[in-house]
Structure 1
């Protein structure tokens, strides 16, 4: 694999098109597991194709999200997330987050978070906003479980369902997994020195499933330490490793930095951009201890680790 390449992995053998995943034996998934392991142990990113999430559902998420973000700030503020609890559902205003604290200025993006089992306020408009989020979170949960199964095979864990079980509250209270809709508004005014749309960072949890629109702009650090474009591929999901998974695997799998800068072309500055990350995190009470028994990192609960990372972001 070239240093600049983000590999494409075909998930046909275990995607949501497979109605009974337990009917698929581990040996059938060995090739897919090796491809995923190779990608995650080097560049830390891959494109997943033939995953089984219907494009019409992705389009519906982008549509209801755009309708929400197009509303006046006064309306969106009614759905603000409670800042005392970073897991709360709701809206996050532009410049509220600084994903690269060294930049000292908030990112030019806004978001809406949904974590099942948490409190929050849903917008009255647009119609079907809440039901679309709930349905899409459920689809992403089912796919994430299957990706975790194949990762368990690639990591040569004795139980192929080990990682799945550590995330069995993804759609329930006690789970930390969050569906986030991101909106990068068109830039009409001046940008503060050092400000970007999304600062350089690695994700915090296990894995992330990222759905992009066709605008582009995301850049990923390759194995040579150079940022390269992660161009949208129609129908593909961009999947990457988070810091907690790197810690869990004693650095076998790599959490890679990525960013979204201010476009240099004026025409792209005037374009808004959307993306939807599905942040897959273990249950809050899961103790993260090196899977290889090396104790390279001290054990820590998922909740304690995420709270630490959130404290640096807000």
Structure 2
């Protein structure tokens, strides 16, 4: 992935991440990070490549799909592959056309893949490496920063703690968790500086964990900028002003989640048909930015009800619409069920560990969410009553843990 040219300002990223932060990543990546097999290995092709290249991953380990206009096309599910540079840096006509493609992707599939996005490779790879360092800590060290409440939604969750599900009833989710807990552990980082619910940071940042807090907050800011840009594209696609959503996003009530799916024996899946790394579910917020490694296992439910592999594609970020955006759009945008299962490619008796990074984007918790202009003709056509973003998300998280 060509790194972002540091002499070019992020004009439409609203400077949430100063170029000095990106420059800092460029120097520390070779000093501290050991590369992981990533699928996000390219960025905006309109920017020249600078700096060290990332070591390539053996083909048998990455199994990366290389496709054209559609990232996924199977069982009636078509997930488009969008060149995001055309929206960021294109002419007004290119921006409008790309915004339409993005909106149609969310309306039809609920998912898109973004290529030529502005988050540089060395930043992504370093964040993956620091994530792996976090999960390599002792159980005691991780439990020192344990997740506590849905209102806070920060900290470490051990394997089996969370059960994502398409069920809405707490009792049903508890039954599913008891029968087949999700085979993953995670660590949540929210907006820094919230007095009532501070982030839970590791007490000791030394050795492999040196700089962990600063690096995670920098990545959080970069993703916040991309959140603005994708929402801007959705606004343009809907015929709204490109800054329509800005007032609902400026606080940054988003969650950066590091995910580790430990290595698992193939027999676990063979002996339990319900065993999954993450159960079938939809996401709760506006959109999710998903950075995958190259192991595979993500599946999206098609219109026929079949789960289809959403294979990692080199140089992309997977973006999916969440339930709150679907509600906001009066269900003109689709929030699609997805899951993480046994990788599709057999890798011997044991499936290696899988890592991913999800940035869950939400409207400001104080934002009142009701049907957007243009999604209904009369008041009676609004499908849902209004609700604040924070109240909605707490309701959903309460059922999950």
TM-score, scaled relative to structure 2:
0.71
Q: How far off its partner does 1:121 sit?
A: 2.5
Q: How far off its partner does 1:225 sit?
A: 2.3
Q: Corresponding residue for 1:280?
A: 361
Cα RMSD, aligned residues only: 2.0
Task: Provide the rounded CA distance (Å) in 1 between the counterparts of 2:127 and 2:141.
Answer: 19
Q: Secondary structure at the match of 1:165?
A: helix
2:310 is aligned with 1:230: yes
Q: Note the alpha carbon deviations across 1:209-268, whole angstroms, 9 max, x for none.
A: 100001111001123322111111111000010000111111110000000123474637
Does the aligned pair in 2 maintain the 1:220–1:229 contact within 8 Å?
yes
Q: Corresponding residue for 1:153?
A: 236
Task: Provide the rounded CA distance (Å) in 2 between the counterparts of 1:245 and 1:58.
Answer: 26
Q: How far off its partner does 1:42 sit?
A: 0.5
Q: Corresponding residue for 2:399?
A: 312
Greater Cα shift, 279-288 or 118-127: 118-127
Does the aligned pair in 1 maintain the 2:87–2:96 contact within 8 Å?
no
Q: 1:97 aligns with which of 148, 155, 162?
A: 162
Q: 2:323 aligns with which of 206, 222, 243?
A: 243
Greater Cα shift, 45-54 or 160-169: 160-169
2:244 is aligned with 1:162: yes
Q: Corresponding residue for 1:202?
A: 282
Q: Corresponding residue for 2:220?
A: 137
Q: 2:119 aligns with which of 21, 36, 53?
A: 53
State which structure, 1 or 2, has the greater radius of gyration over its C-alpha atoms. Answer: 2
Does the aligned pair in 2 maintain the 1:183–1:274 contact within 8 Å?
yes
Does the aligned pair in 2 maintain the 1:208–1:241 contact within 8 Å?
yes
Q: Corresponding residue for 2:95?
A: 29
2:182 is aligned with 1:107: yes
Number of aligned residues:
300
Q: 1:267 aligns with which of 348, 363, 366?
A: 348
Q: Secondary structure at the match of 1:298?
A: coil
Unaligned runs of 5+ in 1: 19-23
Greater Cα shift, 52-61 or 95-104: 95-104
Counterpart mapping for 1:14-93 below 5 A: 14-15=87-88, 27-81=93-147, 83-93=148-158
Task: Provide the rounded CA distance (Å) in 1 between the counterparts of 2:104 and 2:218.
Answer: 32
Q: Note the alpha carbon deviations across 1:129-150, whole angstroms, 9 max, x for none.
A: 1111111111111111011111
